[in-house]
Structure 1
Amino acid sequence: MAQVAGDGRRLRVDLDIDPSDDWDCPIVAETPDATDVAVNAVGRECIVDVQPSDGDGVLRARGEVSDDCLCRVFQRFGCVPHVQRVEDGTVLVTTYVDDRDTVRDVVGALRETLDHVRLVRLAVVEGPEATEQVTFDLSALTPKQREGLELAVVRGYFDDDRDVGLGELSAELDISKSALSQRLRSAQAKLVTDMFDEADR
């Protein structure tokens, strides 16, 4: 997972976000399942148009934008959230960032206020047409592999100037260093294999 420089390439980040019970967001207020969501958050007001998965109409909801709102968190890091769908109250959000540091910052900030934030996919995109160059589909991993790899990415373990070691990560997951090392190796091998299999198709 290479650092993306200012050469026209960006990272596409897909996140599954489960709101907390007290999350008062119009994205999920009207329906737990939606195929299309449009968000307009200006100042302290948010207007959302939601198309339920089981209906033809579009529902409109209004809300108040607070400092811990989904849109406000993305805005803090100069990112635009694109809500792809809502399934059983879980929101799939796509955003585009310049580097892994921003991925780490956004995920960390979201986790401070939301129950569950899971990195689903990372893809390198290039040029004005945003052609995907390299895609890492994390859904192919086991839950334990994904948990270990996601923590390593978010905490900067793979960065050249990393200040976190395997011991710290394994302690956070409450497993041994060797177990975490094995999980990371297996996850990386799976991602690389899948990437080349996809390229050969």
Structure 2
Amino acid sequence: MTGFRATVVIDDPAGCPVADVSAHADEPVDSVSRSSRQTAAGTVVEEFCVAADASVDGGADVELTPIQSDDSEAIYRFERDGGADCACEVVEGTGTPVSSVRAQDGALIVSFRTLELAAVADIVDELRASFDGVIVDELSRDHESASTDPVVVDRDRLTARQREILEAAHEMGYFDYPKGANATDVAERLGVARSTFTEHLAAAQTKLMDDILEQ
């Protein structure tokens, strides 16, 4: 049996404390973990890891409690309202577990696995219904054997502007991890608003995913 692994970037995760910390500290936030059940007070407990010298003060609207630290990294814990919008919970609401969560430059980066490629598109649609700037950053297929499943992608379906956006984002390292550039950097180079950049990028990725799904 084979499956798919997808990594989705939510550029505007609606006040996610982890994403807010990554924007304020100017450092990536890794190793995010969450409690599986709400507390009696209706809150969800989360922990995250950042570089030891990262400044997290004022980076989120929740109280951050230091749990553990050493010379290289520090772990913080916080509680948030269980009823608040959460991208991870949107993914899990589709019946798909989140395999990893991290944040960088104010964006939330969520990875998950599915058995069917169509499920990836469904999850992206659910996220886009709740959040702005949702982009598929990586999509790969796991194979049990050396067999391949080639797919022809028609790049002519992309408009000239969409190809320009994709090429600039790729050249500047937008799809790399860690990112070589964020959405604002690419938008400034292209001379467009950040929202325009994410809109064109999302449209281009949707067309490419449509080609893959149709195959």
TM-score normalised by length of structure 1: 0.58
Are 1:119 and 1:150, in contact at CA under 8 Å, matched by a contact in 2?
A: yes
Report how far residue 64 of structure 1 moved: 2.0
Instruction: Give the corresponding residue for 1:65.
Output: 82
Instruction: Give the corresponding residue for 1:49.
Output: 47
Instruction: Give the corresponding residue for 1:104.
Output: 121
Are 2:101 and 2:111, in contact at CA under 8 Å, matched by a contact in 1?
A: yes
Are 1:36 and 1:51, in contact at CA under 8 Å, matched by a contact in 2?
A: yes
Are 1:26 and 1:48, in contact at CA under 8 Å, matched by a contact in 2?
A: no
Instruction: Give the corresponding residue for 1:184.
Output: none
Instruction: Give the corresponding residue for 1:78.
Output: 95
State the distance in 1 between where 2:84 and 2:208 align.
25
Matches within 5 A, 1:117-132: 117-126=134-143
Q: Does 1:13 align with 2:11?
A: no
- Structure 2 residue corresponding to 1:34, chosen from 29, 32, 35: 29
Are 1:30 and 1:59, in contact at CA under 8 Å, matched by a contact in 2?
A: no
SS at match of 1:92: strand
State the distance in 2 between where 1:160 and 1:87 align.
33
Identity %: 18
Instruction: Give the corresponding residue for 1:150.
Output: 205
Report how far residue 96 of structure 1 moved: 0.2
Are 2:19 and 2:104, in contact at CA under 8 Å, matched by a contact in 1?
A: no
Give the gaps of 5 or more residues in structure 2: 55-72, 152-165, 170-196
Are 1:30 and 1:61, in contact at CA under 8 Å, matched by a contact in 2?
A: no
TM-score normalised by length of structure 2: 0.55
SS at match of 1:58: strand
Report how far residue 109 of structure 1 moved: 0.7
Deviation string, structure 1 residues 177-200 (Cα, Å, up to 9, x no partner): xxxxxxxxxxxxxxxxxxxxxxxx
Are 1:67 and 1:73, in contact at CA under 8 Å, matched by a contact in 2?
A: no
Question: How many residues align structurally?
Answer: 145
User: Residue 159 and residue 64 in structure 1: after superposition, are their counterparts in 2 closer, same or farther (change >3 A)?
Assistant: same
Name the amino acid aligned to 2:45.
Answer: I
Give the gaps of 5 or more residues in structure 1: 1-7, 162-201
Q: Does 1:25 align with 2:20?
A: no
Are 2:32 and 2:47, in contact at CA under 8 Å, matched by a contact in 1?
A: yes
State the distance in 1 between where 2:46 and 2:134 align.
21
State the distance in 2 between where 1:27 and 1:10 align.
28
Are 1:80 and 1:96, in contact at CA under 8 Å, matched by a contact in 2?
A: yes
Deviation string, structure 1 residues 126-184 (Cα, Å, up to 9, x no partner): 45xxx9x78x9xxxx52599545421255x454449xxxxxxxxxxxxxxxxxxxxxxx
Are 2:102 and 2:109, in contact at CA under 8 Å, matched by a contact in 1?
A: yes
